[in-house]
Amino acid sequence: MACWYGLTAQAQQGSRITGMVVDGTGEPVIGATVMQEGTSNGVVTDIDGKFVINVPAGSKLTISYIGFKTTSTSAADNMKVVLHDDSKQLNEVVVTGYTVQRKADLTGAISVVSVDDLAKQNENNPMKALQGRVPGMNISADGSPSGAATVRIRGVGTLNNNDPLYIIDGVPTKAGMHELNAADIESIQVLKDAASASIYGSRAANGVIIITTKKGKNGKVKVDVDASVAASMYAHKMDVLNAKQYGQVMWQAYVNDGLDPNTNGLGYHYNWGYNPAGYPVLNSISMSKYLDAAGTTPAADTDWFDETTRTGVIQNYNVAVSNGSERGSSYFSLGYYKNLGIIKTSDFERFSARMNTEYDVIKNVLTLGEHFTLNRTSEVQAPGGFLENVLQFNPSLPVYTTDGSYAGPVGGYPDRENPVARLHRNADNRYTYWRAFGDAYVNLHLFKGFNLRSTFGLDYAQKQQRFFTYPITEGNVATSTNAVEAKQEHWTKWMWNAVATYNFVKDQHRFDAMAGVELNREDDINFSGYKESYIILNPDYMWPSAGMGSAQAYGGGEGYSLVSYFGKANYTYADKYLASATVRYDGSSRFGKNNRYAMFPSFSLGWRISQEKFMKAKWIDDLKLRASWGQTGNQEISNIARYTIYESNYGVNESGGQSYGTSYDIAGTNGGQILSSGFKRNQIGNDDIKWETTTQTNLGLDYTLFDNSLYGSLDWYYKKTTNILVQMAGIAAMGEGSSQWINAGEMENKGVEFNFGYRKNTRWGLKYDITGNIGTYRNKITKLPATVAANGTFGGNGVKSVIGHPMGAQVGYVADGIFKSQDDIDNHAKQEGAALGRIRWKDLNGDNVITEADQDWIYNPVPDFTYGLNVYLQYKQFDFTMFWQGVQGVDVISDLKKETDIWAGLNIGFLNKGTRLLNAWSPTNPNSNIPALSLSDNNNEKRVSSYWVENGSYLKLRTIQLGYNVPENLAKKLYMQRLRFYVSAQNLLTIHASNFTGVDPENPNYGYPIPLNITFGLNVTF
């Protein structure tokens, strides 16, 4: 882009000098001041480091920039000035919304992420790789091959969509980042406070993540090749009962209940009796050779985890070609990524291509450019709840019957699908997803200091998938239905904006202003066709037109529009006092005419104390105080929230059963013709709903000390969201479909974020850089309608009002160990179901009876703090990276524990369980705190209670990598500029709380397992 940031009054008459300012690596320095010595005539370099200045012949120029040593040189046309580092941290330029700023001038809370560090994690999704690297940013994900992740910045700020806004090369989106190639990313900035994010007003309440992709650099053609192959395997595995252990546990449950274990219907036979003390003793277990009368299902000892999982393979290949000159630049890349997940048949594949170009059509006046990427992704996801299915399926059942077909439950075994057969039937449910994303822009530099840029952006995606239903004949599980649903979805999002900027510098004053307008439109459509009864059960044949049975069609479409006006002004005096103000005015079609528009202002101040004479100290390199206040908005609700909605529901129910449709025989013909259909109301409209508004205050400190060795920042923030949009259910007297969207909620978050770094070069050649961060926040809902606060939708389980507590907090009974003696039972409050080995509930209200009133807050989803630590070492040709990420003091609710600690934890009996049941309490195992085995749940131990709440704290070694750079002289002999080999491991080690009983505290239930990856790769530059 050629946008010249001018500064001062009319320059003296003289030569027109052009030039470029770069750092020691050849990268352009943006925002450097170029001054004619002894005058106030000067300019500021543009985003490509270029400048144009008029000076008398023979003049000298002084070039300065925060973080670099000032240099002076004689003016000459087409000059190139190299600035050398004076401070690593201050020389960064940050994209802050429609423009860029020097990091030294920032007054908002912005985190700049090292893209090089992210690349070492070999993650498909760059957002997933950010986990633990940005204080105040929480990322949750399982180990699915696609790498999809949930991102939260400074906690949960609304009862609706909490996803941040992504800005990629100036184009906004909220779609998945795993669909784009992370290798194309040049920089990532996270805007956390309102002062930095409010320029995006309407959608910035949950934070903004700005991503800039790569471009060509000046010089000869450069070719980068990156390739890696990884093996994935279980880092943590469920311990489930094998066939013998299952028999032992079932026997114990029978005898505990006083029943004969040989009456089981599963084919187990027990030889047992009583010891001299009168306790039951199991002597041996045997099984019938076949579990069914027909003799087709042999007894087995199947490890269903081994049968359904594999060693996964991840391949990642990227090639990029780039070039640049004074008149333009280009960057082209191709990428391929394939992840064969550790659950069999699950996989994710992506092909990607990118082209970024920029050209000076009229030198120093008119620039045209574009960023464009096309991606094709394809995925087979693991079936829903699959790992629970694997845990539950009995190990005594085989994979196949004697005739080679899939085995299934017989006799008394519960009706669950064979996991191997389920994977086989799911393998055809692949989706294909195309995404075209990019922008084209024109940049016009009309006169000194003034720049006008117009951008058109497009984010188009199309998804096609077929869902197959195949017949099942597996023991007692049988269905004859075969069908397919063919579905297509299309998302079209476009934006256009025009942004004008003006910059000048006079003496010690630096000022820049920006004003712009933006339009956004999104249209989404979907349609599908369903058909049953196919003669040939083959994906190539099973299209809806080939089916012979019942057919159904579905479809819908919706969209919204957004118009925005915005402006921003920044002022700096003597590189010491900083001020910034922003305003954005947004209008959204999601709101009614009464409150469609809203204004979101912000302002911030900065004081670089280190520039004051009284703070001059050798050990202080830079010290800056920041303060900001601002408002941002949220419109993430249904596109039709403001309307009264009626729908026709003809009521056809081809599967039988009662139909509650709107069709009615109003003519009284008693059949024989198509009935007229009426309409039913789904919701009541509200033209008065308005924007959610988040108001945030931020105080911060940035520091660089001890000759730039120690650096970091500290932030405190308080943010409050008002007018939260909630869907309020109507009372029965209002009739059907009486729910209505209203502004009624309030929520607050407050927290502290701290990050630090220490770097040094030793005299004997070791270079090291250690960085860390820690963040903590507290969340609570402060206002809701009483009925909404108490119904359990946002917390409280319908027992207590969630007001004053975090969103998602839960109420339940408090477990107080188990009854281990009759005295324990006799001395406890009256409790229905109390017995030896049963969980004891606390009598919280002291009335000596356990009732619903004995419930309290037992679960808080907000951690005490999160943290990360990165260690980088470099010695000669070797480099080493180690990154740790952790969460401390967070509660997790373990649904898994209901199947590892209680035989009757579910309403369906004889499912397989976890091995912890081998240590359940019994008279011969009196020290155990695991409830006694029983075929029935007379104590209602499945209830919501603190027994299922566990300490989910963990510390994980996310990445450890060792790299070797081939010596430059040897690489050149191979016609390469650079050749590097590396080996790395991800998720190699997990440290968790000693009392955590589950598999992985980060993924405590049945999410796709987070694998251990061992990666081998190389980086080549030609």
pLDDT tens, position by position, 594-603? 899 999 999 9
Average pLDDT over residues 118-126: 84
Average pLDDT over residues 329-348: 96
Residue 831: pLDDT band (50, 70, 90) is very high
Average pLDDT over residues 763-779: 94
- Using the predicted structure, report yes or no on whether residue 660 has a pLDDT greater than 80: no
3 state DSSP class of 179:
helix
- Of residues 5 and 550, which shows the higher confidence score? 550
Q: Which of 986, 770, 965 is nearest to 872 (CA)?
A: 770
Locate 635 and state its tokens: 């419109």
CA distance 355 to 192: 30
Taking the chain, what is the end-to-end CA distance rounded to the nearest angstrom?
26
- pLDDT value of residue 670: 63
Phi then psi for residue 896, to 5 deg, are -60, -35
Locate 920 and state its tokens: 């359940």
- pLDDT value of residue 24: 76
Sign of CA dihedral 633, 634, 639, 640: negative
- Using the predicted structure, report yes or no on whether residue 423 has a pLDDT greater than 70: yes
Distance of CA 330 to the CA centre of its chain: 31
- The pLDDT > 70 percentage for the chain reads 94
Distances from the Cα of 560 to the Cα of 19, 496, 588, angstroms: 46, 15, 7
CB atoms within 10 A of CB 634: 23
- Using the predicted structure, report yes or no on whether residue 87 has a pLDDT greater than 60: no
Ramachandran region, residue 545 (left: φ > 0; alpha: ψ -120 to 50; beta: rest) = alpha
Contacts of 235 (CB under 8 A, 6+ apart): 987, 988, 990, 1000, 1009, 1010, 1011, 1012
Locate 283 and state its tokens: 């002597």
Locate 530 and state its tokens: 């369903």
CA distance 409 to 417: 8
Residue pair 533/547 in contact by the 8 Å Cβ criterion:
yes
CA distance 339 to 316: 9
Distances from the Cα of 381 to the Cα of 335, 577, 859, angstroms: 22, 54, 31
Residue pair 518/502 in contact by the 8 Å Cβ criterion:
no
- Using the predicted structure, report yes or no on whether residue 1 has a pLDDT greater than 70: no
Q: What is the pLDDT of residues 960-976, one digit of tens each?
A: 999 999 998 999 888 89
- pLDDT value of residue 650: 64
Residue pair 580/195 in contact by the 8 Å Cβ criterion:
yes
Residue pair 771/132 in contact by the 8 Å Cβ criterion:
no
- Using the predicted structure, report yes or no on whether residue 5 has a pLDDT greater than 80: no
Average pLDDT over residues 656-681: 62
CA distance 183 to 318: 7
3 state DSSP class of 266:
coil
Domain boundaries, the chain: 15-82, 243-305
Torsion, CA 413, CA 417, CA 421, CA 423, rounded to 10: -140
User: Over the chain, what is the mean pLDDT?
Assistant: 90
Distances from the Cα of 321 to the Cα of 124, 300, 966, angstroms: 21, 57, 21
Residue 358: pLDDT band (50, 70, 90) is very high
CA distance 692 to 491: 25
- Using the predicted structure, report yes or no on whether residue 96 has a pLDDT greater than 80: no
Average pLDDT over residues 731-758: 89
- The pLDDT > 90 percentage for the chain reads 67
Residue pair 837/932 in contact by the 8 Å Cβ criterion:
yes
Q: Which residue has the tokens 């004051």?
A: 612
Residue 661: pLDDT band (50, 70, 90) is low
- Of residues 464 and 904, which shows the higher confidence score? 464
- Using the predicted structure, report yes or no on whether residue 812 has a pLDDT greater than 90: yes
* DSSP per residue, 443-494: EEEEETTEEEEEEEEEEEEEEEEEEEE--EEETTEEE---EEEEEEEEEEEE
Contacts of 762 (CB under 8 A, 6+ apart): 768
3 state DSSP class of 970:
helix
- Using the predicted structure, report yes or no on whether residue 92 has a pLDDT greater than 80: no
- pLDDT value of residue 672: 58
Residue pair 576/612 in contact by the 8 Å Cβ criterion:
yes
Q: Which of 515, 533, 624, 543 is nearest to 577 (CA)?
A: 624
Residue pair 576/517 in contact by the 8 Å Cβ criterion:
no
Q: Which of 316, 319, 310 is nearest to 344 (CA)?
A: 310
- pLDDT value of residue 232: 96
Encode burial over 299-314: b for 16+ CB neighbours within 10 A, e otherwise. bbebebbebbbbebeb
Ramachandran region, residue 170 (left: φ > 0; alpha: ψ -120 to 50; beta: rest) = left
Q: What is the pLDDT of residues 261-295, one digit of tens each?
A: 999 989 999 999 999 988 999 999 999 999 999 99
Average pLDDT over residues 313-322: 96
Phi then psi for residue 603, to 5 deg, are -150, 160
- Using the predicted structure, report yes or no on whether residue 436 has a pLDDT greater than 80: yes
Residue 636: pLDDT band (50, 70, 90) is confident
CA distance 271 to 251: 10
Residue 400: pLDDT band (50, 70, 90) is very high
Torsion, CA 803, CA 808, CA 811, CA 816, rounded to 10: -130
- pLDDT value of residue 203: 78
Q: What is the pLDDT of residues 157-171, one digit of tens each?
A: 888 888 999 999 989
- Using the predicted structure, report yes or no on whether residue 12 has a pLDDT greater than 60: no
DSSP label at 684? B
Phi then psi for residue 601, to 5 deg, are -100, 165
- Using the predicted structure, report yes or no on whether residue 582 has a pLDDT greater than 90: yes
- pLDDT value of residue 482: 96
- Of residues 640 and 68, which shows the higher confidence score? 640
Phi then psi for residue 179, to 5 deg, are -85, -10
CA distance 885 to 892: 18
Taken as a whole, the chain contains a residue count of 1022
Phi then psi for residue 9, to 5 deg, are -75, -175
Reply yes or no on domain 15-82 having CATH 2.60.40.1120.
yes
CA distance 80 to 23: 10
